[in-house]
Amino acid sequence: MKLEEKLAQRSGGKCELCEAQGKLNVYEVPPQTGGYEENNILICGKCQAQIEKQEELDKNHWKVLSTAMWSEVPGIQVVSWRMLNRMKDETWAAENLDMMYLDDERLQWAKSSGDHENDASVDLHRDAFGAQLHNGDAVVLTKSLDVKGTTLNAKVGTVIKNIHLVKDNTEQIEGRIEGQMIVVLTKYVRRQAPKE
């Protein structure tokens, strides 16, 4: 039986954190490796996006942790502990943390990512006007830019389609202008609304 099938059977086909149904993903709780069943959890896209800080933290969504934290699955316990720590300024999260118990080995695993030291804020790629940018978006330049290393001058109003977010730098995106892949600072672009 494949790992995903085992997790689906264990979870009853629901997200193991919020119990949402629908499309579920296998999430290997870092920094564990090896594909062990207890180190992986089956979660919905919303939980995964917020765990991985690709979406603003919806604190009301995570109130379900008061149930999930009691799971006997190590991966669920670790993720619950990390997420509760990210929201420890909320009374309900702090109370759940006070009740939660992890043995020394699981606590070490939970702390190993350093995620528990972060607050609930999320660094997202945002355009010059604060709109969130996503991979595949189209953006419009708000300033003429000389592209370093080329004779290319990208004019105000130039549309860059199908952008890619630079993974470790929320101030940069990548895209093609006149066939050349360039890096552009997010403060010089405006997200173009998708056509209906």
pLDDT tens over the chain, length 196 residues: 788 899 999 999 999 999 999 999 999 998 876 668 889 999 999 999 899 887 888 999 999 999 999 999 999 999 999 999 999 889 999 999 999 999 999 999 999 877 666 655 567 788 888 888 888 899 999 998 887 777 788 889 999 999 998 887 889 999 998 888 889 999 999 998 876 5
What is the C-alpha separation between 148 and 183, in angstroms, rounded?
Answer: 10
Calculate the alpha carbon distances from 106 to 8, 38, 70, 100, 109 in Å.
23, 12, 14, 12, 5
What is the C-alpha separation between 164 and 183, in angstroms, rounded?
Answer: 9
Which amino acid is residue 152, in one-letter code?
L
Residue 135 has a pLDDT of 87
- In this structure, CATH architecture of domain 139-191: Roll (2.30)
Residue 116 has a pLDDT of 62
Instruction: Please check whether residue 51 is in contact with residue 18, taking contact to mean a CB–CB distance below 8 angstroms.
Output: no
Q: Which regions of the chain carry the CATH code 2.30.30.40?
A: 139-191
3-state SS, residue 62? helix
What is the C-alpha separation between 172 and 164, in angstroms, rounded?
Answer: 9
What is the C-alpha separation between 81 and 93, in angstroms, rounded?
Answer: 10
N- to C-terminal Cα separation, the chain: 43
Residue 104 has a pLDDT of 92
